[in-house]
Amino acid sequence: MSNENMYLKNYQRLQLIAEKDILSFKEALLYMDVSESFLYKLTAKKAIRFTKPNKGKLFFEKKILNEWMLQNPSEDKNNLEEHVFNHLAKHSK
């Protein structure tokens, strides 16, 4: 399969994923852009919530995946300066 065909196939998959609320394991891999081993490690550690109906395939709520991917955000310079200013204002009295 050529790179162009592979790109088109992944693009079509992403379009379908965008419309879904519940993702299969393979769809979650594509959505999160992570390796199989990484996602299996997250599930084994119970670091991310998933369902496994009838002890079969793994499924994920897209909302949960988004929450996991957005945890521990870094702060930009302006927010850091504001926190420092507020801290100093509270404690300099």
Summarised one tens digit per residue, pLDDT across range 37-83 is: 999 999 999 999 999 998 889 999 999 999 999 997 777 777 777 77
- Single out the residue of 65, 67, 72 nearest to residue 50, CA to CA: 65
Please tell me the distance from the alpha carbon of residue 83 to that of residue 26, in angstroms, as a whole number. Answer: 40
As for how many domains the chain has, the answer is: 1
pLDDT band per the 50, 70, 90 thresholds, residue 93: low
State the residue range of the domain holding 15. Answer: 3-91
**pLDDT score for 78:** 74
- Single out the residue of 60, 71, 68, 78 nearest to residue 21, CA to CA: 60
- Spatial contact of 56 and 67, defined as CB atoms under 8 Å apart: no
Please tell me the distance from the alpha carbon of residue 77 to that of residue 79, in angstroms, as a whole number. Answer: 6
> pLDDT tens, 2-45?
888 888 887 888 888 889 999 999 999 999 999 999 999 999 99
Please tell me the distance from the alpha carbon of residue 15 to that of residue 10, in angstroms, as a whole number. Answer: 9
